[in-house]
Amino acid sequence: MLCNYNRFFHAAAFLALLVISGCSVRPLYDGATSCDGKSSSIKVDVIANRDGQKLRSYLIDYLRDISFTDRKLRLTVTLSTVEKSFALDNTGAAHRLLSTSTAKVILRDENKKVIMDKNISMSTSYNIARAQGEVMLSLYGRMNSALLKELARRIVENIRMNLEK
């Protein structure tokens, strides 16, 4: 008897879930909020490497709800990062690391005419005197994400200023 009750309960729960699952279901990404790099007017091309993909995601987020123009534009970004050790002590060991990310930004219209061609940079430094292993990687990951987010914000502001000319 208990076995039949369990089967009935599971079947009823399954049917209820099927019925409920159809209620107000809509795609996670629809037209205006697509995840493919398209905003209302600017398409963001794929950017190489992990940091490039983070930067692209931030750009898509910042551009998603902004309508700069009625024209369809394409944004191409090439990201490069340079790291330099500095603040050396008497033994020659570095105490700080300077990380500079530079984005080569090219904005084109639908006729492939270049509207904006600019290098935009951001820098940050890390205290690495006592950081080791996982602590250093954690610190680097947090700081690097903040740097990329700010770089994306600067890129969007440059695009806005360029298009408002």
pLDDT per residue as tens digits for the range 103-128: 999 999 999 999 999 999 988 877 76
The answer to whether residue 144 scores a pLDDT higher than 50 is: yes
H helices of the chain, in order, are 2-21, 49-63, 133-163
Q: DSSP of 13-53, one letter per residue?
A: HHHHHHHHHTTT---SS-GGG-SSSB-SSEEEPP-SHHHHH
pLDDT at position 14: 74
The answer to whether residue 22 scores a pLDDT higher than 70 is: no
DSSP state of 90: T
Pick the CATH number of 32-163 from 3.40.50.970, 3.30.160.150, 2.40.50.220, 3.40.50.10700: 3.30.160.150
Q: What is the pTM of this model?
A: 0.66
C-alpha to C-alpha distances, 118 to 19, 100, 103, 107, 164, nearest whole angstrom: 54, 16, 8, 9, 16
pLDDT per residue as tens digits for the range 47-72: 998 889 999 999 999 988 677 667 88
Mean pLDDT value across the chain: 77
